[in-house]
């Protein structure tokens, strides 16, 4: 058995990125009323499942605090986010999702799931098995590379 070289693996990985992006963009199309950047903020908080200070959100999204402050203010005004003082750090503000913020993300992910499962109907049972194994294996191996 021939071991694939690092160059070929890197080439396949890089080819995977635009395919995943294109596929996910199609699944995600029209799934939210928010702007692209607003959605990133809401999604980041949703995935963290806890209140975060603006510094942590800024770092996690690689955005400036100034840019983030305006986005958070708009999302708060629309009822998606709640800002509260951080009792551990009196200078900081904690940002969390409101029930409306959680609901919009839950709805979005449900729609993405539905679209993806509809797309699965386009491939054979054997292809589904191959895809399930390949996705699982990619996830496992990428996690190993992080450690």
- Reduced to 3 states (helix: H, G, I; strand: E, B; else coil), residue 123 is coil
Could you read off the pLDDT of 124-140 as tens digits, one per residue? 999 999 999 999 999 99
Output the pLDDT for position 33.
82
Could you read off the pLDDT of 11-64 as tens digits, one per residue? 988 999 998 888 888 888 777 788 889 999 999 999 998 999 999 999 999 999
* Domain assignments of the chain as residue spans, ordered by start: 6-116
- Reduced to 3 states (helix: H, G, I; strand: E, B; else coil), residue 19 is helix
Cα separation, 22 vs 109, whole angstroms: 17
Angle, vertex CA 50, rays to CA 62 and CA 36, nearest 5: 40
| Cβ(63)–Cβ(36) below 8 Å | no
Question: Alpha helix locations (H) across the chain?
Answer: 6-28, 36-48, 54-61, 65-77, 99-120, 125-146
Output the pLDDT for position 131.
94
Could you read off the pLDDT of 79-123 as tens digits, one per residue? 999 999 888 887 888 999 999 999 999 999 999 999 999 999 999
Output the pLDDT for position 23.
87
Angle, vertex CA 15, rays to CA 12 and CA 19, nearest 5: 130
Q: How confident is the model at residue 3 (pLDDT cuts 50, 70, 90)?
A: low
User: Which pTM does this prediction carry?
Assistant: 0.74
Q: How confident is the model at residue 1 (pLDDT cuts 50, 70, 90)?
A: low
Q: Which CATH number describes the domain made up of 6-116? A: 1.10.10.10
Cα separation, 106 vs 83, whole angstroms: 21
| Cβ-proximal residues to 31 (8 Å cutoff; 6+ apart), any chain | 107, 108, 111, 112
């Amino acid at each position: 058995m021939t071991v694939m070289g690092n160059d070929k693996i890197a080439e396949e990985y890089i080819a995977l990125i635009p395919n995943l992006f294109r596929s996910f963009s199609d699944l995600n199309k029209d799934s939210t009323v928010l702007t692209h950047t607003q959605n990133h903020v809401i999604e980041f908080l949703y995935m963290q499942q806890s209140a975060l200070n603006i510094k942590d959100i800024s770092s996690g999204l690689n955005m400036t605090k100034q840019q983030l402050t305006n986005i958070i203010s708009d999302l708060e005004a629309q009822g998606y986010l709640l800002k509260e003082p951080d009792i551990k750090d009196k200078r900081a503000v904690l940002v969390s999702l409101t029930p409306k913020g959680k609901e919009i993300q839950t709805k979005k992910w449900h729609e993405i799931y539905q679209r993806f499962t509809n797309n699965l109907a386009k491939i054979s049972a054997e292809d589904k098995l191959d895809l399930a194994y390949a996705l699982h294996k990619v996830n496992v191996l990428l996690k190993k590379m992080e450690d």
